[in-house]
Amino acid sequence: MEVFLRADLLCLTQTPKSPLVCSAPLTHGKRFQLWSLGFHQPERHLAKRLKHNSFYPFTEQQPNVFVLEYYLDTLWKGTLLFVACLVVVISVLMNQVQRQETWGIPAYGVVIGLWLMISSLPLRRLVLNHPHGTYHFSIQGRTVYQGPMHLVYLRLAFNSDARGRCFFQLVLCGYKLEPLVLLQLSEHYEQVEYLGRFIARKLNINYFDCLAVSYRHVVRHWPLRTNTDSTSIAQTRSQTYSKMSLNL
């Protein structure tokens, strides 16, 4: 597996450069691409997708404008829960079992599954607009948030099990943005980090390591300092200097 994965990662660095052109409109199939994360060898699965589309999971609609349309994976999870619990409830009612402890739990599952389905049906759309320096997130055409580019980033998340084994994920995060998992649990830190840095570089967004303080962070966008901030900093410094002079 290591040999094949290294070959896939090497192909990412040897992708020929092509002139920037407007891509084709998004297809309906790409809206479900985040549902298939490859639970077996997730690093190789993601590397293959990046070979076909170096801006995965986005599509370059215009130069430096990346678009992602998707449905949450809770749509199929809620549908599965709804159907399974509904079958149980119907079978219990047909057998004329009236005890609440028998059909109460699956009935509750029907409600939860239906709620997950309804809340996940609206189409999500995320646009990274580098010429304007902003990202735009909308649900079913209604704007949820539009803000500066430094508020959206790719993070390498860290988890561990009871045995002490470490697992890593790649998660696309942002303010007012639902976390999107791009790579499921993997034990190979270096390979996950390489893929994360590659995606962040292609999309020109910030990349953060699993540790809060780390030299592996890659910050490409910083918050803009306003005049009020600089004025307050100058006032604070002047007050500090005046106190020091009085003490002297």
Q: What is the DSSP string of 77-115?
A: HHHHHHHHHHHHHHHHHHTT---HHHHHHHHHHHHHHHH
CB 59 within 8 A of CB 23: yes
**Within a domain: 178:** no
Percent of the chain at pLDDT above 70? Answer: 71
How far is residue 218's CA from residue 200's CA, in Å, rounded to a whole number?
9
Residue 22 predicted with pLDDT over 50? no
Q: Phi/psi at 36 (nearest 5 deg)?
A: -105, 95
pLDDT recorded at residue 233: 39
Q: How far is CA 192 from CA 25, 81, 169, 227, in A?
A: 30, 31, 7, 40
Q: Give the model's pLDDT for residue 242.
A: 42
Whether 99 is in a domain gets the answer yes
How many structural domains comprise the chain? 1
Q: What is the CA radius of gyration of the chain?
A: 24
Residue 88 lies in a domain: yes
Domain-located, residue 67: no
Position 121 scores a pLDDT of 86
Enter the pTM of the model: 0.72
At residue 85, the pLDDT reads 83
Residue 226: is it exposed, middle or buried by C-beta count within 10 angstroms (0-12/13-18/19+)? Answer: exposed
Among 46-50, 87-91, 157-161, 206-210, top mean pLDDT goes to: 206-210
Range of the domain at 106: 75-120
For residues 95 and 137, which has the higher predicted lDDT (pLDDT)? 137
Q: At 241, is the pLDDT very low, low, confident or very high (cuts 50, 70, 90)?
A: very low
* Domain contains 190: no
Is 154 or 121 the better-scoring residue by pLDDT? 154
CA distance linking residue 2 with residue 85, whole number of Å: 42
State the pLDDT at residue 8. 53
- In-domain check, residue 32: no
Bridge partners of 181, per DSSP, are 171
Predicted local distance difference test score (pLDDT) of residue 116: 86
Return the half-sphere exposure (C-beta side, CA atoms, 13 A cut-off) of residue 151: 17
Has residue 82 been placed in a domain? yes
Please report whether residue 85 resides in a domain: yes
